[in-house]
Amino acid sequence: MAGMREENGSRLRVFATLCKKIGTIVPGSALSQELACSRQAIYKAVCALKDEGAPIESIPQKGYRLGSLDDLQTISPTMIEYFLHGNPVFNRCLHFKEIDSTQTVIKKLARRGDPAGTVAVSERQTKGRGRRGRNWESPYGKNLMFSMLLRPKLKPGEVQLLNLAAGLAAGRALRELCGIPVELKWPNDILCSGRKLCGILSEASGEPDRIYYAVTGIGMNVNMELTDLPVDVRKDATSVKIELGHNFPRWRLLVDFLGRFASLIEVLSGDGGPSALIALYRESCDTIGKQVRVTQDGKDIIGVATNVLDNGALVVRTDEGDKVFVAADVHHLRMI
């Protein structure tokens, strides 16, 4: 275990050193001197980084060079951890080629007592889960599917606040980093021209007055194309690539999202608490002010969404008065 931690530590330090000199050749001797470890240890760390997908070239007799990260499509967990430096919540990244569900991975870590801050990313899920027991499917290696371990001081009924924070963070990342005019649909769907770009699922375990841990999972459509989707769902989904017309580096979106989400978690756990978070959410939530159809327990209710309360519930003005929804499926009908 200690050996493994040490090995991961050398990977991180080698990556950090190469990253500061990106595009230039760094001799193995310089790396081993700077990091005070053997050439053999440097070689091992570089091999491990290459296996993770970090774009490092070994140039015989000269050294190692880290190539541009601008168009990189691989998710190297060490690289993600390097770019998470300074993130107040997230500091560890696990990467899987295939797993049942990243939610399950994180729950296992939570149950064995791991602290908050781990992110599990997978290229494929064999049992990906969506909200309300639906499946979540995504083509191999194109999109982002990840779950995060959180230990917030919340009551079970307040887990919805994590969903809203994650939705707000994802919406901001897609708007500000990718330049996509997304809509944030209560509680946490991210749409573009009415098509889904990102889904969020938060699950928690605890007792009536506190949660032990929460797991927030994100499925973000990044580089998939319409032809990657079954014909019957093509009209309902989109991706960053479909909207922009080109691929987007998934690692950049992941790191950016984790920074924004961590800041919102801090708002939630800070002095202003839920009302400070909800004030930010209200500013960005496109459901407020729209005519909506809310589906709950198989029944449709039509009205105008007027507010999101401090507990995250949606208020809808209907012919029979205001109705408050804690959880429901919402469809935007039109602007009022």
Report the interface residues with ligand BTN, using CB under 6 A. Answer: 101-103, 125, 128-131, 134, 136, 145-147, 199-201, 217-219
Dihedral sign from CA coordinates of 163, 166, 168, 171: negative
Q: Of 71 and 236, which CB lies nearer to ligand BTN in the complex structure?
A: 236
* Residue in the block written with tokens 């963070």: 169
Q: Of 48 and 162, which CB lies nearer to ligand BTN in the complex structure?
A: 162
**Per residue in 263-300, is it b (16+ CB within 10 Å) or e — as a string?**
bbbebbeeeeebebbbebbeebbbbbebbbebeeeeee
Please state, in angstroms and rounded to a whole number, the distance separating the CA atoms of residues 99 and 121. 9
CB of residue 242 vs ligand BTN: minimum separation in angstroms?
Answer: 18
Residue of minimal Cβ distance to ligand BTN: 199
* H or E segment and range at residue 30: helix 28-34
Q: In what order do the strands lie in the sheet with 56-59?
A: 25-26, 63-66, 56-59
CB of residue 98 vs ligand BTN: minimum separation in angstroms?
Answer: 13
Task: Compute the residue count for the chain.
Answer: 336
Q: Of 37 and 180, which CB lies nearer to ligand BTN in the complex structure?
A: 180
> What backbone torsions phi and psi does residue 195 show, to the nearest 5 degrees?
-105, 145
Q: Of 131 and 293, which CB lies nearer to ligand BTN in the complex structure?
A: 131
CB of residue 191 vs ligand BTN: minimum separation in angstroms?
Answer: 11
CB of residue 237 vs ligand BTN: minimum separation in angstroms?
Answer: 11
CB of residue 99 vs ligand BTN: minimum separation in angstroms?
Answer: 9
Q: Of 41 and 190, which CB lies nearer to ligand BTN in the complex structure?
A: 190
